[in-house]
Structures are given as C-alpha cells and as structure tokens.
Amino acid sequence: MEKVDFIKLCQDSAKANNHELSAKLLPSARQYLLEHGLGKLPVIWLETNDSGDNNIAFMNTTYPYLNQVFRDMIDLLYSNTFMAAQGTDALQLLEDTMNHYQGKFTLVVEGAVPAKDGGLYNVIARTKKGPLTALDAVVRLGEAAQYVVAIGTCASFGGASSAAPNVTGSVGISQVLKRQVINVSGCPVNPDWFVGTLAHLLMYGPPEVDELNRPKLFYGATVHRHCQRRSYFDNKEYAKQLGDIECMFSQGCSGPRTGSDCPYRQWINHVSWPVKVNTPCIGCTNRDFPDGSAPFFSPLPQKTTSHKQQPDMGKERP
C-alpha cells in the first residue's frame, strides 16, 4: 500500500463509518513486513502521571481489534498494564528490552512526567541504587528509542496532570526530551488515532504533523469544521440551553479551536461522540486542556447567545 493510499484509507474509513481500516490496513502491514523481512514494531509502553484512561481506550479499539494489533502490527515488549511480570522481573525485562532493541523500538508514554524535586512524585521502581522515577525512565528510554509517541493529552502537553496548581511540576514528554515526540493527544485518545499512528510508523516512518506535533491524519481540521451541527452555526442558530438541537457554541463548545476528526471518526465502536449526545466539545486534544477550557459548559455572555447574532469565533482553524 502506498503512503497516499494509507492516508486516504484512514480518513475515508472514518467518514464512511465502515470497517475498511481492518480489512485493508492489517493485510497491508503483514505484506509490508513480509516483503521487507521485518518483524513487528517493537514497543515499550510506560505509564506515568495519568488516570489510565488511554490504555483502556486502546483496549477498546475496533476494526482492527486489540488482538489483531498485537498479532499483526506491534510487539509489546514492556507495559505496566498489559504484562504479567512484576517487581524485579519487570525491571529486568525493561533493561533487557532497551539493550536488545537499542535504537529500534518505539517508546509510548502515557501520562505527564513530574519534573519537580527530581521527579520523586512518580516512581516506576525501587532499586538497590534508589528509586527509578518516571523522569529518569522517560529520559533514558527516550534517548534510546527510534520513535517516541505521547499517547493522551497528559503525555502530549501535561493535560489534567499539570492543571493548576500543578504541585508536582508535571509536564508533557516533549519538555523533558530533546527530540521529536509525536503527540497523539486526547483525554482519552481515540484508539484509531493511536493505532493509525503506530501503523504509519511501522510502514512509512513518522507521519506529517501539525504545529503541535500531532499527526495531520487525525488532527488536521477542527471539530467545528465537520460538526453535524455546523449548519446551525452558519445560520446563526445557537442553543439557548444544554439539550437544544442547535449549535452549542453559545454553551461554551470549544469545537472551533479544537483539532480532531471526532465528528466523523466517533467513539464507542464508531457510533457516538459528545455533540451527538448534546454535550459541547471541551477541547480535550488542545495544548491548554483542561485549564484553557474551564469552566466546562460555561455559556457565552448573553449578548452572543442570540439566535440573530454571530459569536466571536476567536482563532478558528480551517
């Protein structure tokens, strides 16, 4: 499969709400590995300061399903969540994996990294030499990895873990690594965004990214651009309260400044998303989430909620 066909497949399969991603992507990945004599994409997955919602979102991936991703695309060598090993066995596994796959593995980080006080607010393991902090692990593994992927908004930009007052000094991965980090943001991430990014790395290397280092495949347009309620906005018809069918920009919807393909990608097996169930977009893929979106669902000033008046769009992206 050519790269342009891969990009079209990821985008069109979401818009058509069909299962072509599984039907075409996985066989293509298998064929690519066979033709190039390669193994699956080696992955080390670290979980740091977060709520664990992104690995749960990943487990909810459909078309392809989780077992298909493991079988045909990635070799998950270490993961706090998915592996059986614990204690010293897990630590040795991490060390052996890093040494064996030096410069060949993809580091996936879930969660922000506490940088204050030497990173002591998140400890991956306790060793005879002292605590191994998330900061230590991310820096060391990040320097040894071929690619680094931040999954979720906490890992990408700090997210909820770095929200005020941020007593742990938590930051996004790119703030502790002096190299490119591919940010797959979302709170939680849509599994398609993550699986699609891994597939791109496997077959074509790093994807084209936007100004926030997010794959343009999934973050290239705003929620507002493809929202099913866009016609209400264009006709200056705004919801007077939550539950109304009109555009919810008047109720604090962050769609005009939020990059993602949620309106047609959708969630929960591709059947729904917040606006579809009368909830405004809260901008969870943005760099300033959640502080920049708070308070959620706060209506705009009364003068902009009129059905006759166009509200200020701010810095809307295409």
Per-residue pLDDT of the chain (318 residues; tens, 9 = 90+): 778 877 777 777 666 555 566 667 777 777 878 887 788 999 999 999 988 889 999 998 887 888 989 988 999 999 988 888 888 899 899 999 999 999 999 999 999 999 999 999 999 888 888 899 999 999 999 999 999 999 999 999 999 999 999 999 999 999 999 999 999 999 999 999 999 999 999 999 999 999 999 999 999 999 999 999 999 999 999 999 999 999 999 999 999 999 999 998 888 888 899 999 999 999 999 999 999 988 888 876 643 444 444 444 445 544
Domain carrying residue 31: 3-219
Q: Same domain, yes or no, for 41 and 145?
A: yes
Is beta strand 170-171 parallel, antiparallel or unpaired with respect to 113-114? antiparallel
| Contact by Cβ (8 Å): 79, 110 | no
- State the CATH number of the domain containing residue 177: 3.40.50.700
Q: Same domain, yes or no, for 204 and 227?
A: no
Residue 157's nearest CA partner among 175, 137, 140, 180 is 175
Q: Which of 219, 238, 257 is the last residue of a domain?
A: 219
Q: Same domain, yes or no, for 183 and 243?
A: no
Tokens of 300: 């705009």
- State the CATH number of the domain containing residue 312: 4.10.480.10
Amino acid at 272: S
pTM (2 d.p.)? 0.89
| Contact by Cβ (8 Å): 203, 29 | yes
